Structure 1
Amino acid sequence: MRRNRIVALIGAAALLGGCVQESQQVGRANFEAYCAGCHGDNARGNGPLAGELEVAPPDLTLIALRNGGDFPMTRVMSVIDGYTRADQHGSTMPEFGALLEGPTVMVEYEGGVMTPTPATLVALANYLESVQR
């Protein structure tokens, strides 16, 4: 599977405040706000709420490893935004509407399709890609 390319990364960074480093900070801040409760500060599935869930949250630092070394950007964003996870995790993973609001950036998906995608969702997915082991 061809790795999806994020197009206009510089444009995404500008929308998020002016630099790639700030985009990374936005991604981490969104992770801390929306994901760390279950997945843990280190993204390894050991958050304070993990023990209360019927299905243990996955270790998000192993996404690429579980996918043959490739980080499936499109699939990750689809799981986060709820598009492809109707029954995942016993349906306990909440919807993240705030991640879908605000400015968008163009992302090239499979087949060369350019799609406007929420910049905050892209930032979170890029953050998750950065914590892969």
Structure 2
Amino acid sequence: MRLLFLLSVLMLGACVEREAPTGREDFATFCAACHGASGRGDGPAAAGLDRKPADLTGLSARNGGVFPGTAVMAKIWGYTGVSPGDRDGGSPMPEFGPLLQGELVPYDGGDGISTPTPVRLVQIAEYLKTLQE
């Protein structure tokens, strides 16, 4: 009887969906090593890179005061509009698209077009908005 109870608890636990990480959590996991916890490009891995990681706190300032949501998500996802092998002129930024796949939500990145976008990608972009100075 006890064994049956334990097996049913284990099976139930395997069926429960895990809650998706927040944008802050995904940033800490995927971005902070290079961009730093505050997003200034001063993470512990930054010293070992040929190019200093971008200071993410000034994205809006460098875009006329508007957060460039679509461009930010394209960069995180790994799409930069250049041919493979010539990714952004040799940027050390890895492609995170495969790691962020999952549920899609409609998102307007500021260009007036609502596009189905992975929720985790949206959450990272929304978190980056909170880092803007």
TM range (shorter): 0.7 to 0.9
Which residue of 2 is the match for residue 128 of structure 1? 128
Q: SS where residue 48 of structure 1 aligns?
A: coil
The match for 1:26 is 22
Task: Tell me the residue number matched to 2:51.
Answer: 55
1:66-99 superposed Cα distances (whole Å, 9 cap, x missing partner): 1111101001001110111653373311111211
Instruction: Decide which of 8, 33, 37 is 1:37's aligned counterpart.
Output: 33
Please provide the CA RMSD for this pair.
2.3
Output the TM-score relative to the length of structure 1. 0.74
Whether 2:42 is the aligned partner of 1:46: answer: yes
1:80 to 76, 99, 123: 76
Contact persistence 1:56–1:89 (CA under 8 A): no
Q: Which amino acid aligns with 1:44?
A: R
**Residue 44 to residue 82, structure 1, CA distance change in 2 (3 Å):** same
Classify the secondary structure of the residue corresponding to 2:38. Answer: coil
Tell me, what secondary structure is at the counterpart of 1:91? coil
Aligned mates of 2:71, 2:99 — CA distance in 1: 19
Secondary structure in structure 2 of the residue aligned to 1:105: strand
The answer (yes or no) to whether the contact 1:79–1:85 under 8 Å persists in 2 is no
Equivalent pairs, count: 111
Kindly indicate whether the alpha-carbon contact (under 8 Å) linking 1:54 and 1:90 is maintained by their aligned counterparts in 2. Answer: no
Q: CA separation in 2, counterparts of 1:42 and 1:102?
A: 26
* Bigger radius of gyration: 2
2:64 to 64, 68, 78: 68
Indicate the percent of aligned positions where both proteins have the same amino acid: 46
Separation (CA, whole Å) in 1 of partners of 2:51 and 2:89? 6
The one of the two structures with greater contact order (alpha-carbon pairs below 8 A, sep at least 6) is 1
**Paired residue for 2:6?**
none
Q: Which residue does 1:98 correspond to in 2?
A: 99
Question: Unpaired runs of 5+ in structure 2?
Answer: 1-17
CA distance in 2, matches of 1:69, 1:110: 12
